Chains A and B, each alone.
Chain A
Amino acid sequence: TAGITQAPTSQILAAGRSMTLRCTQDMRHNAMYWYRQDLGLGLRLIHYSNTAGTTGKGEVPDGYSVSRANTDDFPLTLASAVPSQTSVYFCASSSASGDYNEQFFGPGTRLTVL
């Protein structure tokens, strides 16, 4: 079982360009999440989806958008990248959005915006 996969592994992007980070899980989890991780700040929630067809904003949603067309996929789009979006991005999933909800993390995407 692959668990959660993310693509690409790393990317260098010119400022102003758009990009979609891909995330796919095969655990049939209802809830999915996108975090960014920056040195000294820990993981911060960007967007989440409690179930297919619904999305919500996390702590740092500006400049990012998401969609959840089906259970397995949860892409994150940067419409016009800026250097402050340089970070490591982790996708995660959990079986439920409430109660006990251990989250499983993907391997991450390292994004550099120049």
Chain B
Amino acid sequence: GQNIDQPTEMTATEGAIVQINCTYQTSGFNGLFWYQQHAGEAPTFLSYNVLDGLEEKGRFSSFLSRSKGYSYLLLKELQMKDSASYLCAVAGDDYKLSFGAGTTVTVRA
């Protein structure tokens, strides 16, 4: 089976940095995705990692360690609009995505 763990909630201050961790145990590995989902809306793609290391995209970065079954999403210079749920998803042997339950990030002024 697939097991993907991420914290349920995180709170941070506007302008700060927040790191959302994701650990996984899956049947095979063909990449890890991070999605953002605002309340009542559809998930939207943020990042993709398939090799170890850091992928940077503007204020958002994602890191992967395949040997540790670990990833994190780093949100820098937090803005109020970053308040959302962040979903970690792993593509397994069959390339189908298994999702974690999501981390709700609340940004406070």
Contact = CB atoms under 8 A, between A and B. Distances in A.
Do the two chains bind? yes
Interface stretch (A62-70, A71-79, A105-113): A105-113
A44 interface: yes
A42 B42 contact: no
Contact of B42 (A41, A58, A107): A107
Query: Mostly helix, strand, loop or mixed at chain A's interface?
Result: loop
A105 B35 CA distance: 10
Interface string B79-109: 0000000010101000111111110000000
Nearest to A97: B95
A92 to B, nearest CB: 8
B100 A99 contact: no
Contacts of B4: 42
A99 B8 CA distance: 29
B45 A43 contact: no
A40 B97 CA distance: 17
Contacts of A105: 42-44
B48 interface: yes
Interface of B: 4, 8, 30-31, 33, 41-45, 48, 50, 87, 89, 91, 95-102
28 contacts: A35-B99, A40-B8, A40-B101, A42-B87, A42-B100, A42-B102, A43-B43, A43-B87, A43-B89, A44-B99, A45-B98, A48-B96, A58-B96, A59-B98, A97-B95, A98-B30, A98-B95, A99-B30, A99-B95, A100-B31, A101-B95, A102-B33, A102-B45, A103-B45, A104-B45, A105-B42, A107-B42, A108-B41
